[in-house]
Structure 1
Amino acid sequence: MGLSENDRSIAGFTMTGHALVHWFETSIPIFLVVWLAEFDVSVALLGLVITLGYAPFGIGALPGGILADRYGTKRLIIVCLFGMSGAFLVLSFADSIYLIAVGLLIWGVAASIYHPAGLSLISTGVEDRGTVFAWHGIAGNTGIALGPFVAATLLIFLDWSLVAAALAVPGLLAALWGLSTDFDPVAATEELDDATVQASLSDLIADSRTLFASAFAVVFVLVTFEGLFYRGILTYLPEILQGLPALTGFDPGLGLEGIEPGDYLYVGLLVIGMAGQYAGGRATNYVAVEKGLMGIFVVLALLALAFVPVASLGLGPLVVLCAVIGFFLFAIQPFYQLAVAVYTPAEGRGLSYGYTYLGQFGLASSSIAVGGFILGSFTLAAFFAVLSSFALVGAGLAALLWVRYSKGAVA
Structure 2
Amino acid sequence: MAETRSGKAKALLSATTANFGQFGARVAISPFVLAIAAEFSTSKSLIGLVLTGMWATYALMQFPSGVFADRYGERRIVLVALAMAVLGSIFVAVSPSLVVFAVAALVLGLGAGMYFAPGTALLDRRFTGTGRAFSIHSAGGPLAGLAVPVVGTWVAATYGWRVGILVGGAGALAALAMALVAVEGRPPTNPNAALRSRLNRQTVMKLLSRPVVAFSTVLGVIGMYVFQATVSFFPTFLQEHHGLTQGNAGLAMGVTFLLIAFVLPFAGEAADRWGPDHAVAPTFLVTATGFATLIFGPGSSVALWVGISLIGVGLTWGGAVQARVMREFDDDERGTGFGLVRTVFILLGSVGNVATGVLADMFGWPVAYGVVVGLLCFGVAILVINRRLDLGL
CA contact (8 A) 1:84 1:106 kept: yes
Deviations 1:193-239, CA, capped at 9 Å, x for gaps: 94446125244316535533666555434322322343345555545
* CA separation of 1:346 and 1:170: change in aligned 2, threshold 3 A: farther
Deviations 1:304-361, CA, capped at 9 Å, x for gaps: 554436963654455345424312322x323334445544456655544432332332
Q: What letter is aligned with 1:224?
A: V
Q: How far is 1:140 from its partner? A: 0.5
CA contact (8 A) 1:78 1:179 kept: yes
Give the corresponding residue for 1:294.
277
Give the corresponding residue for 1:254.
none
Residue 196 of structure 2 is aligned to residue 201 of structure 1 = yes
Deviations 1:92-150, CA, capped at 9 Å, x for gaps: 54444443333222112111212333344455654333323332232101111222222
Give the corresponding residue for 1:393.
382
Give the corresponding residue for 1:407.
none
* CA separation of 1:158 and 1:381: change in aligned 2, threshold 3 A: closer
Deviations 1:221-279, CA, capped at 9 Å, x for gaps: 432232234334555554555577xx67xx8xxxxx6435x554443222111111233
* CA separation of 1:391 and 1:197: change in aligned 2, threshold 3 A: farther
Deviates more, 1:337-346 or 1:58-67: 337-346
CA contact (8 A) 2:52 2:351 kept: no
> 1:277 and 1:33 mapped to 2: Cα distance?
30
CA contact (8 A) 1:124 1:346 kept: no
* CA separation of 1:343 and 1:133: change in aligned 2, threshold 3 A: farther
Question: TM-score, with normalisation over the residues of structure 2?
Answer: 0.77
Q: How far is 1:301 from its partner? A: 3.9
CA contact (8 A) 2:58 2:112 kept: yes
Give the corresponding residue for 2:228.
231
Question: TM-score, with normalisation over the residues of structure 1?
Answer: 0.74
Deviates more, 1:374-383 or 1:56-65: 374-383
Give the corresponding residue for 2:257.
270
CA contact (8 A) 2:70 2:190 kept: no
CA contact (8 A) 2:74 2:122 kept: yes
* CA separation of 1:185 and 1:81: change in aligned 2, threshold 3 A: same
Give the corresponding residue for 1:326.
312
Helix, strand or coil at the partner of 1:198 = coil
Give the corresponding residue for 2:15.
14
Deviates more, 1:319-328 or 1:354-363: 319-328
> 2:44 and 2:307 mapped to 1: Cα distance?
32
Deviations 1:335-390, CA, capped at 9 Å, x for gaps: 33444554445665554443233233210123445556777388676652332213
> 1:349 and 1:124 mapped to 2: Cα distance?
16
> 1:385 and 1:297 mapped to 2: Cα distance?
16
> 2:120 and 2:386 mapped to 1: Cα distance?
22
Q: What letter is aligned with 1:75?
A: R
Task: Give runs of aligned pairs for residues 77-156 of structure 1, distance below 5 A.
Answer: 77-122=78-123, 125-156=126-157
> 2:94 and 2:235 mapped to 1: Cα distance?
30
Residue 40 of structure 2 is aligned to residue 57 of structure 1 = no
CA contact (8 A) 1:269 1:326 kept: yes
Deviates more, 1:105-114 or 1:302-311: 302-311
CA contact (8 A) 2:14 2:183 kept: no
Q: Please, which runs of 5 or more residues in structure 1 have no aligned partner?
A: 187-192, 252-256, 405-411
Q: How far is 1:397 from its partner? A: 7.0
Give the corresponding residue for 1:259.
247
Helix, strand or coil at the partner of 1:127 = coil
CA contact (8 A) 1:14 1:136 kept: yes
> 1:322 and 1:31 mapped to 2: Cα distance?
19
Q: How far is 1:80 from its partner? A: 0.8
CA contact (8 A) 2:270 2:278 kept: no
* CA separation of 1:296 and 1:198: change in aligned 2, threshold 3 A: same
> 1:125 and 1:395 mapped to 2: Cα distance?
40
Give the corresponding residue for 1:178.
179
> 1:243 and 1:44 mapped to 2: Cα distance?
15
> 2:166 and 2:237 mapped to 1: Cα distance?
32
Identity of aligned residues (%): 19
> 1:4 and 1:358 mapped to 2: Cα distance?
33
> 2:131 and 2:261 mapped to 1: Cα distance?
15
Q: How far is 1:77 from its partner? A: 1.8
CA contact (8 A) 2:267 2:319 kept: yes
Q: What letter is aligned with 1:16?
A: T
Deviates more, 1:274-283 or 1:378-387: 378-387
CA contact (8 A) 1:73 1:117 kept: yes
* CA separation of 1:30 and 1:67: change in aligned 2, threshold 3 A: same
